[in-house]
């Protein structure tokens, strides 16, 4: 009699990885953004755990970045978390409907962050589907910053959440090689003048979960 062979489940193995150390976050947002590609975002919430592989991010670089909430050194109740210690989550509300989540980079007084724009669902698919409702294909459950938050159950209550402890975490995973990294201008920041053209958006080429796989026509891609 042949025993049923339980093939090692890739997600389970991946979720055993350690959390990224604080030093990972204590760098400029561009480096953190690039290196976040391929890492795993995990939320152990009520109803179970949802995990995802990050495939699209954007760097927001503090006071000098016209597209950032902290442009010009503005410090407000909303963006307060960006000014504090790195390795926390900055969640804000947009368009009266959606939440977007950022990973705080830099350090105390260095208000930089990385917007999480898209991810590939890895575990907790049933929960993610339920949160998103009918209509979305699995590979699109977390395509776009607001969709990502919804599928992972992130909202304003998670603003300031520590990523080194507690139910929210970022786990280490193999780096995405340069050859597979796409780069281009950020989305939805046309108001930022010349800063809008800066190629501070990074994505994993070929991932079906990337929200906009191609850079805008004529955009500088470097």
Partner DNA sequence: AGGAAGATCCGCT
Partner DNA sequence: GCGGATCTTCCTG
Work out whether 86 is an interface residue with DNA (CB under 7 A): no
Question: For 148-173, b where at least 16 C-beta lie within 10 A, e where not — what string?
Answer: bbbbbbbeeebbebebbeeebbbbeb
φ, ψ for residue 210 (rounded to 5)? Answer: -70, 135
| Residue among 8, 13, 191, 194 that touches DNA (CB under 7 A) | 191
- Cα–Cα distance between 75 and 200 in angstroms, integer? 22
**Contact residue for DNA among 27, 44, 98, 129 (CB under 7 A):** 98
Which one of residues 9, 31, 48, 94 is an interface residue with DNA (CB under 7 A)?
94
- Total residues interacting with DNA, rule: CB under 7 A: 39
Distance CA 113, CA 89 (A): 9
- Binding to DNA by residue 163, rule CB under 7 A? no
Cα gap 117→182, rounded to integer Å: 14
* CA within 13 Å, CB half, 155: 9
Shortest distance (Å) from residue 18 CB to DNA: 26
174 in contact with DNA (CB under 7 A): no
Q: Which two tokens stand for residue 198?
A: 């800066």
Q: DSSP assignment, residue 98?
A: E
Does residue 56 bind DNA (CB under 7 A)? no
CB 51 within 8 A of CB 124: yes
The span from the CA of 32 to the CA of 35, in Å, is: 5
Residue 207 found at the interface with DNA (CB under 7 A): no
Say whether residue 7 binds DNA (CB under 7 A). no
Closest approach of Cβ 173 to DNA, in Å?
Answer: 22
- Confirm or reject binding of residue 197 to DNA (CB under 7 A): no
Q: How far is the CB of 2 from DNA (least distance, A)?
A: 44
CB 102 to DNA: min, Å:
5
Chain residues in the site for DNA (CB under 7 A)? 58, 60, 67-70, 74, 76-79, 82, 90, 92-98, 100, 102, 113, 115, 132, 135-136, 143-148, 186-189, 191, 211
């Amino acid at each position: 009699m042949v025993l049923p062979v339980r093939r090692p489940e890739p997600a389970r193995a991946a979720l055993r990885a350690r959390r990224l150390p604080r030093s990972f976050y204590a760098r400029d947002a561009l480096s953190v953004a690039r290196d976040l590609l391929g890492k795993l975002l995990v939320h152990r919430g009520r109803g179970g755990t949802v995990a995802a592989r990050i495939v699209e991010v954007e760097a927001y670089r503090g006071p000098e970045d016209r597209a950032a909430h902290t442009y010009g050194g503005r410090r407000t109740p909303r963006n307060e978390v960006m000014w504090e210690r790195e390795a926390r989550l900055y969640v804000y509300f947009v368009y009266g409907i959606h939440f977007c989540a950022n990973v705080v980079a830099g350090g105390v007084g260095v208000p930089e962050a990385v917007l999480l724009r898209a991810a590939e669902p890895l575990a907790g698919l049933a929960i993610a589907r339920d949160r998103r409702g009918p209509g979305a294909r699995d590979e699109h459950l977390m395509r776009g910053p607001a969709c990502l938050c919804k599928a992972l159950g992130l909202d304003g209550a998670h603003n300031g959440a520590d990523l080194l402890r507690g139910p929210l975490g970022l786990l280490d995973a193999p780096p995405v090689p340069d050859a597979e990294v796409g780069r281009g201008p950020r989305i939805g920041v046309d108001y930022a003048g010349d800063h809008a053209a800066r190629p501070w958006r990074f994505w994993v080429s070929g991932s079906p979960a990337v929200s906009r796989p191609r850079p805008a026509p004529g955009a500088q891609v470097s």
